[in-house]
Chain A
Amino acid sequence: MGKSLGPVGAPALPNAVPPPAGIGRRSFVGYVMGGTGLVVAADLALGAAPARAAGLPIPSVPQIPELYDLNDFLTHCALPTSALIAIHIDEQGDAHFALPRMEVGQGITTSTAMIIADELDLPLERVHVTLAPARRELLFNQLTGGSNTTISTYTPIRVAAAVARKALLDAAAIQLGALVETLTVKGGVIFDLLGNALPYGEAAALAAPETTRQVEVELKAEAAHTIVGTPRRRVDALDAVTGRKRFAMDLTERDVPGALPTMVCRAPDLNGTAKEVRNQAAVAAMPGVTHVAIIPTGVAVRARTFGQCIDAVRALDVVWNAGTVAGRSSADILKELRRAELPLAVPKLGATTVEGEFVFHFRSGSALEPNCAVADVRADSATIWGGLKSPIDAQSKVARALRLPQGKVTVNVVQGGGSFGRKLFSDAAIEAAHASKAFGAPVKLMWHRADEPRQGRVHPMATSRIRATVLLGSVISFEQRHTSVSTDFTHGLGERLTAEVAALPTGLANLGFSETIFLLSQELPYDFGVVTQLLNESNLDVDRFNTSSVRNIYSPDVRCANELIVDRLAAKLRLDPVAFRLRYAKSGIVKRVLRRAAELGEWGRAMPAGTAQGIAIHKEYKGATAVLVEIDCRPETVNRKVRDAVTGPRVTKATVVVDCGLAINPLGIQAQMMGGFSDGMAQALSYGNHLVDGRFLEASWDNSAYTRQWNTPFEFRCEVLDSDRKEPGGIGEAGVAASMAAVACAYARATGTMPTEFPINFHDPLHFEPKPFVPPVPESPVNGLDHVS
């Protein structure tokens, strides 16, 4: 024993379908794989059935996401490309599973291990979840996005674990001479009634059949869960706090021999390209430098240390071609968006109309770990290591860039240091492949921080126009026109869409991909009579800006605009914001989170002048979120000084209540809400990119004012409600929209002015001196010892 069939080698089998539901619990079909070792499998497309697409009526009143949302779409896309996922039980009785998704901090390796441990009756620390390399046969089913991981993998993973448990028990029954029904499992050891014990590891050796067989299993009842639903710490926490957790740039000489540090000297203009290097030989002769070459995105340099790469990038004298938005500024892009805005249908009706026009500026999607990848390109093959959320797409793009067949490119997925939508793209992997090919040597390529806000993917700039009508004490219409710089969805979803679009509910078939995503994700959770929400893209921008579906895509902006207008409507009808929302909210789940947030956060308590509460809700990812914040906008707070920082209004307290369906790991969900809150708050108050003369000014974390400790609420509380839904919802992005909206609403109530441009400090004098564009990266300081503390 010992050698075993890895999940990737599992042969494709006919789709498993749940047999017709009998009385009692649903049973499912899975497989015990033939060969050495115990490997069990289930179809990744099992369970999580989307709303039936065909023949689904789309009544005019409910909006599409209420019947069939983005997650149904993602799950639906996975159906025809179903393939097997497998769990392997090793000779110690430990379970191993390679998750075809990407861990970027959202906690899915932990929650997946919890699901397997529970179904298998194995202690959590004996379940080992790794990240699967690119598996082309999974097609759409290997994309980490839309907070869809747990929604789409919950049932298949449980089925596979249940099959493993059954195979182990069947083998133990024979070995112990007992009836299967009389066996019990505790901590990965099987016991018969006499107390005879057989550990999983030994049972696994007996359970491996010679040929693959199909088995039918029932899943455990919810009530029998002892791990799922309990707060668990992350499985990789110890590695994270000891520095042992390894990211792509922590791969060393031992992992990829010869992969030396590599950086790219980039153009001053956004997306500018290199025409000529004037001092190639001189730079190539600098200490530590081994290679210098032009690649499509700039001039790549390879050296013994990244420090020497930085020096070389700074020394390069390059002739640049202009960029894709040369000479343009944020105000120009705003004009383009205004021109592209679609008209509202309901005319303006004097005093009965409540309107708003909102602007949302570009903001960087950078994670703390910069874009990076390791590449080893040979004459007829290539290997990539990177934190990639769509590894199959990376594989095909790298193959195209290198003119290699896709099968000659191996893509290994490494844990990522955050993503926020950026790692759906493979920018660094493609660049690393180009550089490795140009140099004829392996590279460890990393972006400089200054490149990240300046040349990296951003949340597209957008406007939102809203007009609502109040008549006879009631809201009778609510229209929204969201207009955005095009969002890049070319990370592998687009091709699938073409194939799937015919199966979508009527009315969606002829829309572009962005409109489809918009329609599938945006739901106004209120009964406001005639509701229309439309997206238009200025469509000039596909290659002008580097965009991505940054955390929560359109929702933070759309909902922020909505909720500000909702507060206006409440005021017009002389209703308290919570009372108004409760009266008009469509669904029970929204009302529940709202009521609980109001109660926990002491809605309506007396607040000093210049401070206020704000509340907002959001419904998406098969769940609902309510956020209540308290903000301090008094001058002594707003004007507090922190060196090189944006201070401004301070959110002093935040309360988040979420119903996300079955809560697999409440502790992890609270963490995701905390992160979503930091994101949403920054987007409302301080985090934006200024486009001036074809270039983004921000080039450092002290320029892009993302949330820092001096902006953090003194009190943060998140409650995860016991849900009526038995299936898990998505959590990675669910906290962002309501947080941004609640902070904006609180600011409006504290200052008496509704903010209409985000971040609200966008037009304040810059709090930083923009760094030079040539050279594109700043020198590392040498005075660090003057600042020891």
Chain B
Amino acid sequence: MPTHTFQLNGETVTVDVEDDVRILWVLRDVLGVTGPKYGCGINVCKACTSHINGKAFNPCAVPVGALGPDDEITTIEGLADTVPGDGLHPMQEAWLEHDVAQCGYCQPGQIMAAVALVQRVRAERRAITEDDLDSIRNVCRCGTYPRIREAIRAGADQM
């Protein structure tokens, strides 16, 4: 079986698995990293949203063979370590502050998508608009959408 080496939440990992297995399953089933959730497997629900080299991506739609040894994957478990200090990421704090989660199943993906959105908008040197928030595709079947919008604005202020 081929081996694959990449960076995961700040550490180098190597896995023995076929090239075409999507990264979501490498994370969850092979490495036991269960923060990214399955909700569709076809890049629609965004429950699995994580970061690759600092940008949002959906590991259910990328084969592990596409990763190189320097590619840096960050899942919700590693998000807090991307900012200085021992605490949470400001977006996670905002999520707590606004008590966003209900069942919580979608929330790791929502937070990872939110962080990437804020960074993207910031790179464009502008403020978050309603249109930006409307563009988020992550499903929340518990319907926490309005609190997600509030939390993103609050989290952005602290980022």
Residues of A that sit less than 8 Å from B by CB: 104-107, 233-234, 236-247, 249-250, 252-254, 261, 287-288, 304-308, 310, 366-370, 415-418, 420, 446, 448-449, 642, 644, 667-668, 671-672, 674-679, 700-702, 706-710, 712-714, 716, 777-785, 787-789
Contact = CB atoms under 8 A, between A and B. Distances in A.
A367 B140 CA distance: 9
Given A287-B18, A709-B134, A709-B145, A784 B29 contact: no
Given A287-B18, A368-B45, A782-B66, 8 more contacts: A105-B105, A237-B104, A417-B105, A778-B42, A779-B42, A782-B63, A783-B61, A788-B56
Contact of B99 (A233, A244, A779, A787): A233
A674 B147 contact: yes
Given A369-B103, A785-B62, A675 B21 contact: no
Contacts of A416: 103
Interface in B109-159: 111, 116-117, 120, 130, 133-149
A236 B21 contact: no
Given A238-B96, A245-B104, A787-B43, A675 B144 contact: yes
A441 B140 CA distance: 34
B147 A105 contact: no
Contact of A237 (B25, B44, B99, B141): B99
- Interface size on B, as a range, is 35 or more
B26 interface: yes
Given A700-B40, A781-B42, A782-B62, A707 B80 contact: no
A782 B56 CA distance: 16
Residue in B28, B38, B45, B116 with the greatest tally of chain A CB atoms within 10 Å: B38
A709 B105 contact: no
A436 B42 CA distance: 27
Given A105-B104, A305-B29, A707-B143, A368 B99 contact: no
B97 to A, nearest CB: 8
Contacts of A246: 34
Contact of A368 (B66, B117, B134, B140): B140
B26 to A, nearest CB: 7
Contacts of A420: 141
Given A243-B75, A714-B130, A780 B103 contact: no
A701 B22 CA distance: 20
Given A252-B34, A707-B145, A261 B66 contact: no
B8 interface: no
B58 A367 contact: no
B88 A242 contact: yes
A785 B68 CA distance: 13
Given A675-B143, A712-B149, A305 B26 contact: yes
Contacts of B30: 304-305
B17 interface: yes
Given A241-B111, A366-B141, A675 B102 contact: yes
Interface string B42-53: 111101000011
A415 B111 CA distance: 20
15 contacts: A105-B105, A236-B101, A240-B107, A261-B29, A304-B29, A368-B103, A420-B141, A449-B45, A672-B102, A706-B141, A707-B143, A712-B134, A712-B145, A714-B130, A789-B117
